[in-house]
Structure formats: structure tokens, C-alpha cells
Structure 1
Amino acid sequence: MVKESNIKLNNHQYSYREVVAITNNFKTIIGEGGFGKVYLGILTDETQVAVKLLSSSSKQGNKEFRAEAQLLMIVHHKNLVSLVGYCDEGENKALIYEYMANGDLRHHLSVTNTNVLNWKERLQIAVDAAHGLEYLHNGCKPPIIHRDLKTPNILLNENMQAKIADFGLSRAFSTENDSHVSTDHPAGTRGYLAPEFQASGNVNRKSDVYSFGIVLFELITGRPAIIIEPKEHIHIVDWVYPIIESGDIQNIIDPKLQGEFHTNSAWKAVEIAMSCVPTAAIQRPDMSEVLAELKECLALEMSNGRSESRVTGGNMTTSSNPLIMTSLELQSDIAALAR
């Protein structure tokens, strides 16, 4: 007898037999996480999907499975990966999502990826992800805190549109200050965890803002959250601070871009990332402010496509464009923040 599902969803419920058929007997693995393996699937109407199968060895897997399934039923946004359906038959549990053809952001930023994201694409991805997170924080009542925002959890579709995924650790909070002290296993991933969580287990919307700042620094520098050096592991914030202080944007921006970016939008992106990562949560902006600033940053880059500014040898060559003078002021402000 099949155990009845205790998840009440409006989405299509699939039997385990259907899941086996959709994945062609779990033929093609396209990803893997703490929850379990992710397989490529094809529905009867030829739609491609991603099928996340709960591993029997997954820690707290049942809890995260239900959290993710129930949350994705009530949240809908163009920058959140959408749930197509689910399977909940006893020990056999699976979540079926829209297929994101271009995989995760971490892969696109890795040194092994030959298709380098250009500067404009990176800014657009940042805007997309900010839209998704801002919706969770301010468009949902009560607000939803993702708790595990990182580049592997930002997926890209066939049009390179970014969507936030992996909501297994997310929480909806309706307390006065929208915060929560975690008493279960640690949420999040090393390198992305906000200082207040590491110190006390306390999480709130500003904890996600910190994680977003780390993601933004990864987009800017091309480096991972934890940089592995021969003798030590360096957090990306500790790596970038002294370079910001030196004022040389060329040494901050991903070298794979080969200088193909505009200095003023680059400094503004760095400034936004910096604003997200102060140790004190109260000093970080709301995601609505971060989103607005990133939109301005992207607009600046678009307008500079028609300007004469360019980067040469780490220093900026300027025309009479007043926006460029603004970037010099940003550089000074950021250096002051880093001290």
C-alpha cells in the first residue's frame, strides 16, 4: 500500500513509477547536493525538467524536502526556480523543477569554464538574483529568509536569466524583528555565513544580504568565497579589502574579462558588495536598496557603452563624462570603508 502524502500541494503529484519513466530510470545526473542527486527528466509533452531525488542518507532530508516543496507552492517569481511537481511515496521522495539549461553560476565563474561571462552579463545576473531575494524578503508575508544563498544555488536558464534555487533551508519568520535562533543543524555554507550566525546562530533578512554580498564579490572577482592558497584559505572579503584600499580596479575585477569593463560601473558594483558585508547586520542595506543600486549600476554600464571611458593599466582614462568623475569619488569612499 502506498503511504499517503502529507504534503498538500496544488502542483501535480507524480507516482514513483512516473518519476522513473520521466528520468529514463535515472539515466542522466545533472547535479548533486546535500538533499540528493538531480536527474534530467522529460515529461510526456517533451518538456525538460530537473528531478531532485531525496537520498536515503540525506541528513534531515524529510524535513528539508517538505520545507522546500511547501514553500515553492506559495512563492512565485520569475527569478525563483519554479516547482513543476513532486513525488511523496513512503521512502521515495522527489521534487520536479523547471529545467535550467545553463546550470549554476559557480560553474560559469570557475577557472575551468571557457565561456567567460562578460561584465554586462554579470551585472544582469546580479540584478536577477537581487530581484528574487528582494521578493522573498519584502514580497512575501511573512518574509522568507533563504539561509543558503550561494553561487551554486543561482541557476541560469537558456536565456542566461538567473533564478534562485534550493529552498530546503529557507524559513518564514513572523516575529517582530524577523529573526530566528537556529537550534537545528547549521544552515548555510562556509564562506557565505553572516558573522552573526557564526557567533550566535541568529539569522534574519540581513544574513541573506551578507550572503548576497559574497555572491556579488564572486561575480566581480571571479574568485570563490573561500580562496585556497598554497599555505592558507582566505575569505574573499579579506582578500579584496587591501586591494580596494590600493585603488586599483584592475586587480579586483576578474582577470578573465581582460579589462573589458567600464571603471565607473565596476567601482559602483564593488561599493554595493562592500555595503552588504559589514560585520554588524544593522549596517547592511535592505535588499530593496541593493536591487535599486544594482539597477543603476547596470544602467551605468549600458550608457558607458556609448562613452569614451576605458581601463588602461589599472588606471582610468577619462573624457568629459561626468559619470566618470563620480566613479573616482566612489573609489575614494570605498577605500575609506576598507580602512
Structure 2
Amino acid sequence: MWNKVDLKSDQPCKLSYQFIKQVTNDYDQELVVGSGTFGTVYKGICENRQEIAVMVLRNIIEIDNKDFQKEFQNLRRLKHQNVVRLLGFCNETEKVLVAYNGNQVVADKMHKALVFEYVRNGSLGNHISAHGCSGFNWHIHYKIIKGICLGLNYLQNGFELSIWHLDLKPENILLGKNMIPKIADFGLSRLLGDENTRKTINAVGTRLNQRWKIKAYPFKREGVMVS
């Protein structure tokens, strides 16, 4: 079905843009659960009431489609209780009519998103204050510290791919059932780092919508060919 993700599948799950729109209720702001370096995260609700986390990516213009799919097919194979599980991804491009330099042109509007398991207890950052971790006893402190170390060790040494997080912070440590920590936002810096952020600015210094890429697609409008 259009809005069901197979949690048990060992294969990468490619999802449609229509799926992403529907499970987020067309990007309903009330479903936003976080916003970080790489994108906005929505709580997605499938038809069978399954909850998922949908990260809609930003700064995506210069990400090669093949590299994107290959990278997240690799990440999809990661399985560890202290690493947030990647369930699938969306990678679609649509042709849209936009205003550009005083003309109407056809542009590629790119849609890239990642779908993860939904972790109910939020991030470690939500629980940290100037007085420490609110309500956590030493047993929970130790469990979180140990879990983070185990997760990082798995990413770097426990798999055929060596993955360096490069952006580890309390906001990227999610707390699951029984306060088990799960590392999130891993593997994204390589595709979505500062270099790609800079490439969202075009040659004349005008910042384009970060989902649009201008192409020379000619089209007819009121009998006039535009390119």
C-alpha cells in the first residue's frame, strides 16, 4: 500500500514523493518534531497507524542522484540498537514553471527525504538543562553514555563501512524505549556538508529556492517558445 513501510525488509525501500506528502499531511507544521543542519523532521503517520520519522532534506541541488541512492542503500543495512534505523528514502524530480530573471522557465524541483524509525522520547538535548539531565538517575546516565559509545563504535568499526558522524551532539542522540540512546543524523555530512550548501547559490549570486535547479527546457505558453 502507498503508505505502509515494511520494517522487516532488509532491502532499501524507495518511497514516492506522494507517500511523503501523505504521511506528513502535506508537510503539516504541527507534525514537525525537529529541525537541524540537514533538514526538517516530521512525524509521519501511515494508514495502519505506524509512526515514522520523515526528514525532508535541504541543500540538495548538487547531490548526485546515483550517489544519493547508493549511500543510503549502504546505510539501510546498518542494524544496531544504538543507531536509528533507516527505513527508506525518497528521491524524485518534477518539472515546474517558475519565475527567473523576469522570465517564466521550466525548472527541476527536487524532492529528497529520508524515513527513519520513530523514536518516542525525543532527543537527549530536550532533557539537558544547566542542572544536568532532568529526572535521570545514575543508572540512566550510565546506560546513555554506554549506548552512545557502543553506537559510535559500531558505526566506525563494527561494519564493513566506516562511518564518521562529524556532527554528534545531544540533539542527535534520540532516546527510545527504556531510555536506550540511538544515534541519528549519521552519514549525512559526506553528502550534505558545507561544500554542497555553498552550491545552492548560483553564478550571479542570487539564492535560488534550494529545491529548484534551472534547466534549459523549452516550452510553449500562449504561442511563445521559452527556454
TM-score bracket for the superposition, by shorter chain length? 0.5 to 0.7
| CA deviation after TM superposition for structure 1 residue 31, in Å | 0.4
Q: Match for residue 20 of structure 1?
A: 21
Q: Match for residue 189 of structure 2?
A: 169
The match for 2:143 among 111, 124, 144 is 124
**Which amino acid letter does the alignment assign opposite residue 163 of structure 1?**
K
More helix per residue: 1
Q: Percent identity?
A: 37
Q: Match for residue 175 of structure 2?
A: 156
**Higher radius of gyration, 1 or 2:** 1
- Cα distance in structure 1, aligned partners of 2:71 and 2:122: 19
The match for 1:145 among 155, 158, 164 is 164
Give the 5 Å matches for 1:85-234.
85-90=88-93, 91-111=110-130, 115-167=134-186, 168-169=188-189, 185=194
Give the 5 Å matches for 1:1-339.
10-27=11-28, 28-55=31-58, 58=59, 62=63, 69-90=72-93, 91-111=110-130, 115-167=134-186, 168-169=188-189, 185=194
- Cα distance in structure 2, aligned partners of 1:76 and 1:39: 22
Gap regions ≥5 residues in structure 2: 1-9, 94-109, 196-227
| CA deviation after TM superposition for structure 1 residue 12, in Å | 2.0
Structure 1 ranges of 4+ moved more than 4 A: 63-68, 111-115
| CA deviation after TM superposition for structure 1 residue 131, in Å | 1.1
Q: How many residues align?
A: 164
**Which amino acid letter does the alignment assign opposite residue 91 of structure 2?**
D
Q: Is the Cα–Cα contact under 8 Å of residues 44 and 52 in structure 2 kept in the other structure? A: yes
Q: TM-score normalised to the size of structure 2? A: 0.63
Greater relative contact order, per chain length (Cα 8 Å cut-off, separation 6+): 2
- Cα distance in structure 2, aligned partners of 1:113 and 1:29: 26
Q: TM-score normalised to the size of structure 1? A: 0.44
- Cα distance in structure 2, aligned partners of 1:15 and 1:149: 30
- Cα distance in structure 2, aligned partners of 1:61 and 1:34: 16
- Cα distance in structure 1, aligned partners of 2:142 and 2:26: 39
Q: 1:52 to 1:140 in 2, by over 3 A?
A: same
Three-state SS of the structure 2 residue aligned to 1:74 is: coil
